[in-house]
């Protein structure tokens, strides 16, 4: 989660302190539509798995807790088969 928090701080230079795991990243405008695909790319890079945007909802990206559960916790996402 350190990489995700660092990315959010980089995109929001005025942000001070840690981001709460239950803070709404979208309502707080820490992720906007311009940064969304870059955020998905970051999560794919960290997790080593592809994210099919047709199989997720905006709520999967709403909080750090949900991002971790859905994309970064090995039990939280299915591996995409190779080939």
4 falls in which pLDDT band (50, 70, 90)? very high
Mean pLDDT in the chain? 90
Buried b (16+ CB within 10 A) or exposed e, 52-70: eeeeeeeebbbbbebbeeb
Which two tokens mark 59? 């709520």
Torsion sign across C-alpha atoms 43, 56, 76, 33: positive
pTM to 2 decimals?
0.84
């Amino acid at each position: 989660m350190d990489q995700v928090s660092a990315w959010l701080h980089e995109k929001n230079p005025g942000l001070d302190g840690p981001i709460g795991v239950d803070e709404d990243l979208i309502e707080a405008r820490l992720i906007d539509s311009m940064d969304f695909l870059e955020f998905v790319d970051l999560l794919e890079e960290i997790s080593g798995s592809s994210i099919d945007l047709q199989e997720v909802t905006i709520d999967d990206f709403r909080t750090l807790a949900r991002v971790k559960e859905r994309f970064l916790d090995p039990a939280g996402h299915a591996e995409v088969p190779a080939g």
